Structure 1
């Protein structure tokens, strides 16, 4: 396995283990089922968006692992957009920053963190730490990881995954904003006015 793939695999493990650990800790310590993506009674628009995010993010994760394990075989059958070791390592840098931002955002949310729109529980609105600079830092982290995957393994498949995931997650963010405005009212509107959606 190349150094590039070892670094990429390490980042994948850090991301997956921190994500899984957060879900487990929230359930064990607080009895919170934080993964509500595509679950519960929600209107059709939210269900559609959450299903799209579920499928696209699962595809991203599988592709990430396949690129690490069988990248050379994949590249033989796919059109490679460009080849540059410098760009590939830039991809690792983007992924590293993305994982770091995602983990920081997840930790900052404490018990308010959810995967998807939680229609059954009122949580606290988190506006401090990284949430003081972005209303959606976890998604900024995801966007950087999507870009990182594409730059590390620049082919047609990773380019499509980048585009589909950014579009799906942006649509989820728009639905979350409607939900949060309904849930928190002026508190969220005030936060929204002074804090950017992404950066």
Structure 2
């Protein structure tokens, strides 16, 4: 396992362990089943978005694990005009930085959400609208984190498969965000609309 794969695998373990630990802590400490992704009884558009996210992120996770362990020699790389070994290494380094930053966004978002954190839209239990911490700068910092990780994987292992998986995940994440926005507007009304007016959907100019 070379340095790039070692760092990639370490980041994968950090992401996966933090995600599973949050689910476990909510289950044990607050008796909350936080993973409600794709559960029945939701509107069709919501279920489609959630199932799309569920399948796409599973494919991304498996691909991330496989690439970190076996490298990307089994996948046809994308050709980079004028690219050489140094260019590929720089892109891989940039990709790892994206993934690390994405994990930081994701973990910070989970911590700020406390017991209101959910995987999917939970209409069965009441949660608070979190607007402090990292949520002052983005309405969806966990999704920003995911998008950074998707982009990071495609840069670290630059091939058509990782690029396709990246694009599919970003699309389904955006569809889920739109469904969550409609749900939050129904539940919190003007409070959410005012928050959305002053806080970008993603971050900075990505509103």
Q: TM-score, normalised by structure 1?
A: 0.96
Correspondence for 2:159 = 155
Q: Which residue of 1 aligns with 2:135?
A: 131
Partners of 1:81 and 1:122 in 2: how far apart?
50
Q: Tell me the CA shift for residue 79 of structure 1.
A: 4.1
Question: Which structure 1 residue ranges, 4+ long, deviate > 6 Å from structure 2?
Answer: none
Distance 1:195 1:151 in 2: 29
Q: Deviations over 1:115-158 (max 9, x none)?
A: 00001011000000000000000000000000000000000000
Aligned to 1:182: 186
Distance 1:34 1:130 in 2: 20
Counterpart residue number, 1:45: 45
Structure 2, unmatched stretches of 5+, are 81-86
Cα distance in 1 between the residues matched to 2:59 and 2:159: 15
1: CA distance between counterparts of 2:72 and 2:186?
49
Query: Residue in 2 aligned with 1:17?
Result: 17
Choose the corresponding residue for 1:197, options 186, 196, 201: 201
Alpha carbons 2:72, 2:157 under 8 Å: kept: no
In structure 1, what is the Cα distance between the partners aligned to 2:112 and 2:184? 18
- What is the number of residues matched between the two proteins? 197
Contact 1:105-1:138 at 8 Å conserved across structures: yes
2:146 aligns to what? Answer: 142
CA RMSD in angstroms comes to: 1.0
Partner of 1:121: 125
Matched ranges for 1:45-124 at <5 A: 45-75=45-75, 78-82=76-80, 84-124=88-128
